[in-house]
Structure 1
């Protein structure tokens, strides 16, 4: 019995937890919405799709560099550790999303909604977000940026 328990424990450690779903990643690469999908570590570099619905999706460690996802619904999405370098997210919703350690360096985030989003460790260096909504000083204090980061009036961000 001890061997069986040990074997099950070793198997659980060896298997990747929540591995990506290749067919769901392919659907999104093709421009389809996929709310709640498992897109873990997906490469979406250069994807252009206005109004894409990825609410509640798991995009952790995904590549979102140079995407154009204006008006995308990324509310409640897991965006931890994503690379969204140079991405265009005009009017997108990040409401309730987890952006922990995400990189939005040089991203366009004008009109984006960050209500209730977790920004701990997120890098917004050079990001354009002067008309972003739902930002608070206390949440921005957990993120970082640089002198080129554009924020709504009255808000500031620590330097990376």
Structure 2
């Protein structure tokens, strides 16, 4: 019985010592300097107000990152985790969001002309005031999961529910 309790204590101590999926500070610094970092852990990274065009951040974990007022034209976020991202006022012309998870992301006032959204999860994403009338890969089913307002520019024939 004592041995079981001891083994349990050791297992609990090891679990506590194992880092959770926290951000990788070195990878964040690398991206802030303009380097691509596919598959990196950029959880809660502050990349706001930077010019970082053309980066490859495919499959990266950017959950809860701050991309507000960032210029990331032609960046690839294919398959990336962008849940709860704040991209307010950002510029993402020609960016690739194919297969990305944008659940509850904020793209208010964001420029998304030419961005690609094939297979992206837009559940709860806010596109109020976003310019995305030349975005590709958007379906009505995707947009039904997101929200916007009268200022949201969408490709012809598509509409988006109003945010509440």
Q: TM-score per shorter chain, which class? A: over 0.9
Alignment gaps of 5+ in structure 2: none
Shift of 1:49: 2.0
Partner of 1:143: 146
User: Are 2:7 and 1:37 equivalent residues in the alignment?
Assistant: no
Partner of 2:104: 101
Shift of 1:7: 5.2
User: Are 2:81 and 1:78 equivalent residues in the alignment?
Assistant: yes
Shift of 1:20: 0.4
For residues 74-129 of structure 1, the C-alpha deviation after alignment (integer angstroms, 9 at most, x for no partner) is 10010000000000000000000000010000000000000000000000010000
Normalising by the residue count of structure 1, what TM-score does the alignment of the two structures yield?
A: 0.94
For residues 26-56 of structure 1, the C-alpha deviation after alignment (integer angstroms, 9 at most, x for no partner) is 0000111101100011000112022111011
Partner of 2:25: 22
When the two structures are aligned, how many residues end up with a matched partner?
160
CA distance in 2, matches of 1:126, 1:86: 9
CA distance in 2, matches of 1:123, 1:13: 36
Shift of 1:6: 4.8
Q: C-alpha root-mean-square deviation of aligned residues, in Å?
A: 1.5
Shift of 1:10: 6.7
